Amino acid sequence: MLADKDILVLQNQVAYFRSETAYKQLFLYFHPRLLRFALGIVKQEELAEEVVSDVLYRMWALEYKLAQVHHLNIYLFKAARNTALNYLKKEFSQWSVTEDIATIPDSTSPDSRLESNELFLLIERAVLQLPQQCQLVYRLIREEGLSYKEAGEVLQVTQNTLETHMRIALKRLKTVLNAYLIQQ
């Protein structure tokens, strides 16, 4: 887990020195996080990868202006959200559904995330069934560890809304987990 100050250091190295190593570190750090997030919005693995590629490349292309970004974390998540929504608009306008996409494993299947841990699969499945916003909120706060403020900025919603979504998510998980315990 990269601390904020580490991110800042890398950020500046990329902005001012165009350091490829620093960029690579930021890339490898943010890619999985942004990918999970983008997947939650676009639901298609390939599309999500494009979104994240796009966002991370733009980060490099900012050049020295990257140094002026205050919270890279929030900045990237917001960018990912906007880009994902744009891509969604384009995809729907083209009505593209092809066999090619069918050969790519279903990104919403829990297997693609974690291997053998039964509980994680259980939780993951439950999360995937949550309403869209709920899912995004849960992922941002629980998985990415964003604060209320940060999550609020990324998703453009109020703290109250975030609380509500979390309540729904946690309640669902509680039900699922309790059912699991009873079965044991």
Look up residue 45 and give its amino acid: E
Per rule CB under 8 A, is residue 142 in the interface with another protein?
A: yes
| CB burial of residue 161 (10 Å; 0-12, 13-18, 19+) | middle
User: Which of 2, 128, 148, 153 is the binder for another protein (CB under 8 A)?
Assistant: 148
Per rule CB under 8 A, is residue 74 in the interface with another protein?
A: no
Q: Of 40, 44, 47, whose CA–CA distance to 105 is shortest?
A: 44
Per rule CB under 8 A, is residue 27 in the interface with another protein?
A: yes
User: Which of 2, 8, 19, 31 is the binder for another protein (CB under 8 A)?
Assistant: 31
- Candidates 4-12, 64-72, 128-136, 138-146: pick the segment binding another protein (CB under 8 A): 138-146
Per rule CB under 8 A, is residue 46 in the interface with another protein?
A: yes
Per rule CB under 8 A, is residue 181 in the interface with another protein?
A: yes
Per rule CB under 8 A, is residue 36 in the interface with another protein?
A: yes
Per rule CB under 8 A, is residue 86 in the interface with another protein?
A: no
Per rule CB under 8 A, is residue 178 in the interface with another protein?
A: yes
Residues that bind another protein (CB under 8 A): 20, 24, 27-28, 31-32, 35-36, 46, 49-50, 52-54, 56-58, 60-61, 94, 96, 98, 100-101, 103-104, 112-114, 117, 119-120, 123, 141-143, 145-148, 151, 162-163, 166-167, 170-171, 173-174, 177-178, 181
